[in-house]
Amino acid sequence: MGILEVKGVNKRFGGLQALGDVNLSVEENTVHAIIGPNGAGKSTLLNCLVGKLIPDTGSVMFAGQSVLGRKPHEINQMGISRVFQTPEIFADLTVLENVMIPCFAKRDGSFRMHAIESVGSEKEILEMAEQMLADVNMLEKRDMHSGSLSRGDKRRLEMAMCLVQQPRLLLLDEPTAGMARADTNNTIDLLKEINQKRDITMCIIEHDMHVVFSLAQRITVLAQGTPLVEDTPDKIKGHPKVREAYLGEAA
Amino acid sequence: MDAIFLQILNGLDKGSAYALIALGLTLIFGTLGVVNFAHGALFMIGAFCAVTLQRFLNLSYSAVDETKTDFLGNPMVVKTPYVEGWFGPELGQAIIAWSVPLAILLAIPVMLFVGFAMERGLIKHFYKRPHADQILVTFGLAIVLQEIIKYYFGANPIQTPAPPALVGSFDFGVLLGFDPNVIIYPIWRLVYFIFALVIICAVFAFLQFTTFGMVVRAGMADRETVGLLGINIDKRFTIMFGVAASVAGLAGVMYGPILAPNYHMGMDFLVLSFVVVVVGGMGSLPGAVAAGFILGILQSFASMNEVKALMPGIDQIVIYLIAIIILLTRPRGLMGRKGVMED
Amino acid sequence: MPGLDRKDTRFFILIVAATLLMPFILQPFPEGSGMAQFNAGYPDLMQRFVIFGIFAMGFNILFGLTGYLSFGHAAFLGVGSYATVWMYKLLGFNVVPGLILAVICSAIFAVVIGYVSLRRSGIYFSILTLAFAEMSYRLAYSVLTPITNGETGLQVYSNDPQVLMGPGSPESTHFFGLEMASSYVMQIGGWAFTFNFGFYFAAAIFIAMFYLTMRIFRSPFGMMLRAVKSNQQRMNYTGLNSRPYTLAAFVISGSYAGLAGGLLAAMDPLAGAERMFWTESGAVVLMTILGGAGTLLGPVLGAGFIKYFENIFSKINDNVLHGWFAWMPDGLEDFMVAIIHPFVGKGWHLTLGLLFMAVVIFLPGGLVEGGQRVARIFRRRDKKAPEGSPEEQAAEQRNPGPAE
């Protein structure tokens, strides 16, 4: 039984079948990649997992509980964090504040009327956030306005915001899109480290085969909204159907 | 039955004004993506075009008329408007009497100019700023425009009568087979309604049947693609701003005989027009027109004594109540496209 | 001060001192001098400074922090005034029960309006709040006349119950016997300084509210509100529910407005529906933006600025203008007077509108940002000074969050 179990999910937009009978099982403490050509329904699937979209039929279970019908913040509180394709951070706030907010969310839940104590007196939160910033090598930038960070730093910050919550499942939407090779390799190392050191299960949507094959323990290939195959990277590489549908030009 | 009919008629003139202002508002929003709080001020400026023309036509020269004497026996000083001097007393009198409809001729160039000046001088710089900033700066502009008018024309309402031929009422009921004197409707209001319909049709025809309109509509649907085709959409949008300003101005000119123009009429109508736009759906032209008339008529129904007895105070708040219900249940309004400022 | 760091404590002490010394600070010109008309140290105006300061400060908690632009805040001001006057009518002229009721009523009102309006954001939220405020205004004039006394306005009549009124109780608003209207005038040379109890009562509440606002700004709650403004999507995906945060901000800011309304009625025991008109809501928006939305001091400055110029500008008439330019040659004098005339006296709103537009266009951070810019220019001249710290660079960005 995987930590994330997707069974028979269908999603239609008007006449378009975006997802057709998707089944997916993500094992705990693995990196699971979802690949597929453009328009295969990868992002739709991701949106169904975090509560942005509600599937027409089917079930999505996380750690034995259904996530369907829950709001994004409730799903996050269950232990699912999401990294976006273009970094979503609090651009008007400082780097440190950006990381402190998820710490508060983790400790206090989705709402707490915390209007009188000052932020500065929350020592444990401060330490947690600073430790996290140190882990991603951003501590010296703690007082910077996060909107003025470089794109790469924004990504690292967003990652830090997700990791500091110690999620059980981290969803990543093309974490290396638009990166130079060196940055991509750094990100791969970072993700590997996260997966091993912090025991965080990851589910990655990615175009870059280099990233996918360096990280993933299992791969699901999605084509036209339906899973084609699900297997280990080695088997996927040699799979004739996959070569035909997707890897033909990439391999 | 006749009461219902009468209320529908009564709602038409206000509905026409709402529809015209809302049409311009939604046109500006749809094309330029700007929330224009100064649009009510354009309506007011239109109304004051009529006032200006009326004053201009009444400019007189004084001459001593030896044939007449005043009550002290001195020769009387007679004031004669210049127009009468130029066109002869009869035609001159007629021109003065018809100053409100004639003011349309003045209002069109004035409003186009005001519209262009506003867009080029101010609004242009706010396309990329948040909606809140657009609201705030146009709100400031509305205050400025209203104060300028107040400075030149004073704080009191100024009567702008309809032409004598169009004053009085018209027994509408007889035409429809009701008893005489049941459904009586002021002629000018009927004129206003027809005038509004003509303008609405003209705007729609302009957008529907001209190449210019086609480009503008395409731009409203997808600005980027049209821009990629190498069409200069901004220039056309500027012209649309002028058109929207003219529509509001014309609505104001002809409204003079219904409501004596005053400097705060723009603000009064603005709030309601925004509600109309939202009910119709931001950026939807047919929605704005339909919502304008529907809300005008509903407001007139709500002011019936029978309704008021049932729900006291409903006449005061019906428009707002409907707006709240619509916004909560169907945020894109009656006919708005999905996803326009929706979240 | 408890809960404030050293920098904030210094800032707060400065505010307290400035507020308490207002009768001196605002009275720089001796009586009878030509400049005396620019003095603002009289009780009525000073009361309005602090009361509208509270109003704008509350509005800023909503708009400045969360970015939700309410166009209906005057409704809460009106509710506060009505509640307070009702307490006068039922109990007596002590302001305490009235102010308490004002805060409670406006908070309840804000819960209802906020719960509904916050289901939408952006312009739709603005229109919803505007619609609610207009409804309140119109109902206050029509069906609710038994509560609001319609166009006459709510006031205390001699046949009102006033059950707590003893034979010796003051016949005007008071705080446990201390009358709001009582003043002490201190003559020093040509100067006259007026110390009015009503002003000091309102000022004490203002200082308390300023302290509270400061704590809110520096609290995790305040940080969450800024997060709402910055990126609601990220907030939701971070496990935070933005709705209760915005509702809490709305209710807090509505209560501030209710308190301000109550204080208005404490200074002058009247309440009218015109206080709920949407232009009043517009005025508080103007104050906040003009001063600097999202900053602690900005809204207070903006409120003071607008109320001061409203008073002073509107008093300047042609005679005053001729007095100013009397030294000029005749033609030029008339010319100057003719140019300035439309902007002063009754034309003061024109100046306000232009000023407001200028601020939105050139200085989106308001007066506070203007002050910071000027300060930076001076610092740059002083070449020994180090380059701006990261915090200052951050402050250069638009909407600088909590700044002084």
Give the per-residue pLDDT at C68: 93
Minimum distance, in Å, between the CA of residue B317 and any CA atom of chain C: 5
Residues C252-299 have pLDDT tens digits of: 999 999 999 999 999 999 898 888 888 889 889 989 988 999 999 999
3-state SS class at B168 = coil
Under an 8 Å CB criterion, which residues of A touch C? 50, 71-73, 76-77, 81-82, 88-94, 97, 100-102, 104-106, 108-122, 143-145, 147-148, 161, 165
Kindly state whether residues A74 and A95 are assigned to the same domain. no
Q: Which of B124, B134, B138, B139 to mutate to test the interface with C (most CBs of C within 10 A)?
A: B139
Does residue A198 sit within a domain? yes
Kindly state whether residues A65 and A121 are assigned to the same domain. no
Which chain C residues are closer than 8 Å to B146 by Cβ?
A: 349
Q: How far apart are CA C70 and CA C356, in angstroms?
A: 18
CB contact under 8 A, B343 and C121: yes
Kindly state whether residues A73 and A171 are assigned to the same domain. yes
Dihedral through CA C126, CA C129, CA C134, CA C140, nearest 10? -160
Residue A1 pLDDT greater than 60, yes or no? yes
User: DSSP states of B14-56 as a string?
Assistant: HHHHHHHHHHHHHHHHHHH----TTHHHHHHHHHHHHHHHHHH
Does residue A157 sit within a domain? no
Minimum distance, in Å, between the CA of residue C101 and any CA atom of chain A: 23
Q: Which of A52, A99, A111 to mutate to test the interface with C (most CBs of C within 10 A)?
A: A111
Residues A98-151 have pLDDT tens digits of: 999 999 999 998 898 888 888 888 899 999 999 999 988 889 998 999 999 988
Task: Supply the mean pLDDT for chain B.
Answer: 84
Averaging pLDDT over each range in A55-69, A89-103, A109-123, B71-85, which range is the top one? A89-103
In this complex, the chains that touch C, judged by 3 or more CB pairs closer than 8 A, are A, B
Give the per-residue pLDDT at C55: 97
CA B338 from centroid of its chain's CA atoms: 28
Residues B107-145 have pLDDT tens digits of: 999 999 999 999 888 888 888 887 778 888 898 899 899
> C6-277, what's its fold?
ABC transporter involved in vitamin B12 uptake, BtuC (1.10.3470)
The residue ranking higher by pLDDT, C398 or B265, is B265
Domain CATH for A210: 3.40.50.300
Name the stretches of chain C with pLDDT < 70: 1, 382-404
User: What whole-number percentage of chain B has pLDDT above 90?
Assistant: 16
> B135 touching C, CB under 8 A?
yes
* Complex ipTM: 0.89
Among candidates C219, C233, C236 on the partner chain, residue whose Cβ is nearest the Cβ of A118: C219
Kindly state whether residues A200 and A224 are assigned to the same domain. yes
Does residue A52 sit within a domain? yes
Which chain C residues are closer than 8 Å to A145 by Cβ?
A: 390, 393-394, 397
CA angle B124, C396, C60 (to 5 degrees): 80
> What is the average pLDDT across A89-104?
94
> B35 touching C, CB under 8 A?
yes
Minimum distance, in Å, between the CA of residue A242 and any CA atom of chain C: 33
CB contact under 8 A, B147 and C134: no
Give the per-residue pLDDT at A126: 93
Number of structural domains found in chain A: 2
pLDDT level of residue A89 (50, 70, 90 thresholds): very high
Residue B2 pLDDT greater than 90, yes or no? no
Kindly state whether residues A98 and A125 are assigned to the same domain. yes
Q: Select from A98, A123, A150 the last residue of a domain.
A: A150
Q: How far apart are CA C82 and CA C87, in angstroms?
A: 9
The residue ranking higher by pLDDT, C249 or A182, is C249
Q: Determine the CATH number of domain B2-56+99-329.
A: 1.10.3470
Structural domain boundaries, residue A175: 4-79+167-247
Q: Which tokens in the block code for residue B153?
A: 């024309």
Kindly state whether residues A63 and A97 are assigned to the same domain. no
Give the per-residue pLDDT at C393: 40
Q: How many residues does chain C have?
A: 404
Nearest CA in chain B to C355: B140
Kindly state whether residues A48 and A106 are assigned to the same domain. no
Minimum distance, in Å, between the CA of residue A99 and any CA atom of chain C: 10
Domain ranges of chain C: 6-277
Give the per-residue pLDDT at A250: 45
Dihedral through CA C119, CA C122, CA C124, CA C130, nearest 10? 100
Residues B6-58 have pLDDT tens digits of: 888 888 888 898 999 999 888 888 877 888 889 999 999 999 999 998 888 88
Domain ranges of chain B: 2-56+99-329
Kindly state whether residues A205 and A240 are assigned to the same domain. yes
Residues A10-48 have pLDDT tens digits of: 988 877 888 888 898 998 888 999 988 877 888 889 888
Indicate the range of B78-82, B179-183, C16-20, C258-262 predicted with least confidence: B179-183
CA B309 from centroid of its chain's CA atoms: 32
Q: Within chain A, where are the H helices?
A: 42-50, 72-78, 95-108, 123-135, 151-163, 181-197, 209-215, 233-238, 240-242
